[in-house]
Structure 1
Amino acid sequence: MAENNALNTVAWFQIGTEDPAAAHEFYGGLFGWSFAPDPSSGPGYDLISYAGTERPAGGVMSTAGGADNHATFLVLVEDVAAVCTRTEQLGGKVLNPPVTTPNGLVFADLLDRSGNRFGVFTPPSA
């Protein structure tokens, strides 16, 4: 994920939906995107690829179980915890504090001062 992106740029996006099949049909039909299960995430998360890219650029997450449907962008950062602190200093909120996945990906979900949701992440070390 995000191997060719510069720090502090939008490097990933995610669509959360209780009906992933409908999202696949909609976005696949609209933009020609393709979808494949993410082998490192397990069931409920599919990678999004589109023409002209070598690697997936986003994901579709199943929101079954009460999570809100959403579409959000994620920014590649050097230090997720530091960005969480700075977000709060600037009047935003940390929705979900930094989490580290088994493969080393670190991410957090944030809100800007207007209530818009976005995420930040640092990819696993090479």
Structure 2
Amino acid sequence: MATVPYNSVGWFEIGTDRPEETKRFYGELFDWTFSIGADGEPAYSEITAPGASEVSGGVFASGGAFPDYAIFYVVVEDVAASVARAEALGGKVIVPPTTAEGGLVFAQLHDSAGHHFGVFTPPAV
């Protein structure tokens, strides 16, 4: 993943209980290509746009565990601090700060108007 400035969109994700259909649709619509992520997790396919040198998003096979979604993630310096600030501004936590295997830290929230978004801090290199 390219280094992007803090407080800018650095990733997007589509969560679906129909991952193959979703990949077919967006693949045909935008010529996106899909591959299993570096961590080898088969439920997560990374997305690369035509002409892009790096992956910019992913499709998560939810298995129907929760409603389908499409969200963007903003790169932040401190996920817990960003979540606390969002709550102070009227946001609601959906997924609390979570550290994934490999060190990526993320959270998902609703903004004060109910829109779903996420924040993350990449693993230290």
Measured against the shorter chain, the TM-score band is over 0.9
CA–CA distance in structure 1, aligned partners of residues 100 and 65 of structure 2 = 22
Task: Give every structure 1 segment of 4 or more consecutive aligned residues whose post-TM-superposition deviation is greater than 6 Å.
Answer: none
CA–CA distance in structure 2, aligned partners of residues 67 and 39 of structure 1 = 25
Shift of 1:102: 1.8
Task: Name the aligned partner's letter for residue 124 of structure 1.
Answer: P
* 1:36-55 mapped onto 2 (5 Å cutoff): 36-40=35-39, 42-55=41-54
Residue 86 of structure 1 aligns to a residue whose secondary structure is helix
Instruction: Find out whether 1:9 has 2:21 as its counterpart.
Output: no
| Cα distance per residue 1:23-65 (max 9 Å; x no partner) | 1110000000000011315120000001121110000001114
Instruction: Find out whether 1:71 has 2:70 as its counterpart.
Output: yes
For the aligned residue pairs, the C-alpha RMSD in angstroms reads 1.0
CA–CA distance in structure 2, aligned partners of residues 17 and 87 of structure 1 = 26
TM-score, normalised via structure 1 length? 0.95
Q: Report % sequence identity.
A: 46
CA–CA distance in structure 2, aligned partners of residues 101 and 64 of structure 1 = 19
Runs (5+) with no aligned partner, structure 2: none
CA–CA distance in structure 2, aligned partners of residues 23 and 30 of structure 1 = 11
Task: Name the aligned partner's letter for residue 94 of structure 1.
Answer: V
Instruction: Name the counterpart of 1:121.
Output: 120
Residue 52 of structure 2 aligns to a residue whose secondary structure is coil
CA–CA distance in structure 1, aligned partners of residues 68 and 40 of structure 2 = 19
Instruction: Find out whether 1:31 has 2:47 as its counterpart.
Output: no
TM-score, normalised via structure 2 length? 0.96
* 1:91-110 mapped onto 2 (5 Å cutoff): 91-110=90-109
Runs (5+) with no aligned partner, structure 1: none
Aligned residues: 125
Residue 120 of structure 1 aligns to a residue whose secondary structure is strand
Instruction: Name the counterpart of 1:59.
Output: 58
CA–CA distance in structure 1, aligned partners of residues 73 and 124 of structure 2 = 18
Task: Name the aligned partner's letter for residue 62 of structure 1.
Answer: A
